[in-house]
Amino acid sequence: MYQDLRVLYWWHGMKKDIAEYVSKCFNCAKVKPEHQGPTGVLIQPEILMWKWENISMDFITKLPRTASGNDSIWVIIDQLTKLAHFLPIRETYPVRKLARIYVDEIISRHGIPLSIISDRDAHFTTRFWESLQEAFGTRLDLSTAPPRREYTAVTNFTSETSINYGSYRNLR
């Protein structure tokens, strides 16, 4: 918020005043996600060597339908650079359509990854998707363990919070 306001306004102690205002904002607190997870054993993460070799993917669903009919976002994140693609889709797209989008948007730009981390969503566990990745030589890691998907979850929370806050403000 400070970055947006400083373009138009300035006063002494502006950053502190804005931080205090935001910390007391009811709407901001209402849509802010919890970031505190359960404590546990530390795990040494795998050291990544090259961008777009290891990616994670997930869906943000149940969003308001856009004019073009999209109601979901497919989030695909490079594990090394943390660069994310947010692909607008429909929740009802068949796996073959998602595969075409994946080839057009990810493989054509970044090449074929060595591994994909995702949850056990039905889209990622179908025989077609598994056969496609096998043909590409990509290892599928279907994980429910939080450390494997942590950055994807944080990115999704941030996106959902922004969308929810924007939707909430537009309803007023």
Q: What is the mean pLDDT of the chain?
A: 81
139 vs 153, higher pLDDT: 139
Residues 23, 72, single domain; the answer is no
Give the chain's count of helices (H) and strands (E): 7, 5
pLDDT (0 to 100) of residue 6: 84
In a domain, 109, yes or no: yes
Please report the sign of the dihedral spanned by the C-alpha atoms of residue 51, residue 122, residue 89, residue 30: negative
Give the pLDDT confidence score for residue 19 in this predicted structure: 87
pLDDT digits (tens, 9 = 90+) for 39-94: 777 777 778 889 999 998 888 888 889 899 999 999 999 999 999 999 999 999 98
Q: Which two tokens stand for residue 90?
A: 């429909």
Whole-structure pTM value = 0.63
Least confident residue range of 17-26, 60-69, 91-100: 17-26
pLDDT at 167: 53
Q: Which of 35-49, 86-100, 103-117, 158-172 has the lowest mean pLDDT?
A: 158-172
**What pLDDT, on the 0 to 100 scale, is given for residue 149?**
52
In this structure, the answer to whether residues 14 and 99 fall within a common structural domain is no
Please report whether residue 15 resides in a domain. yes
Do 140 and 98 sit in the same domain of this protein? yes
Q: Residue 158: which CATH number?
A: 3.30.420.10
Other beta carbons less than 10 A from residue 83's beta carbon: 13
**69 and 132 share one domain:** yes
111 and 119 in contact (C-beta within 8 Å)? no
- Asked if residue 140 and residue 68 are part of one domain, the reply reads yes
pLDDT of residue 145: 53
| Percent of the chain clearing pLDDT 70 (strictly above) | 84
Q: Give domain status of residue 103, yes or no.
A: yes
Better pLDDT: 139 or 13? 13
Q: Which of 129, 121, 61 is nearest to 95 (CA)?
A: 129
pLDDT beyond 50 at 171: no
What domain range is 16 assigned to? 2-29
Whole-angstrom Cα distance, residue 108 to residue 111?
6
Number of separate domains in the chain: 2
Average pLDDT of the residues in 120-143: 79
- Residue matched to tokens 């205090």: 20
- 124 with 118: CB under 8 angstroms? yes
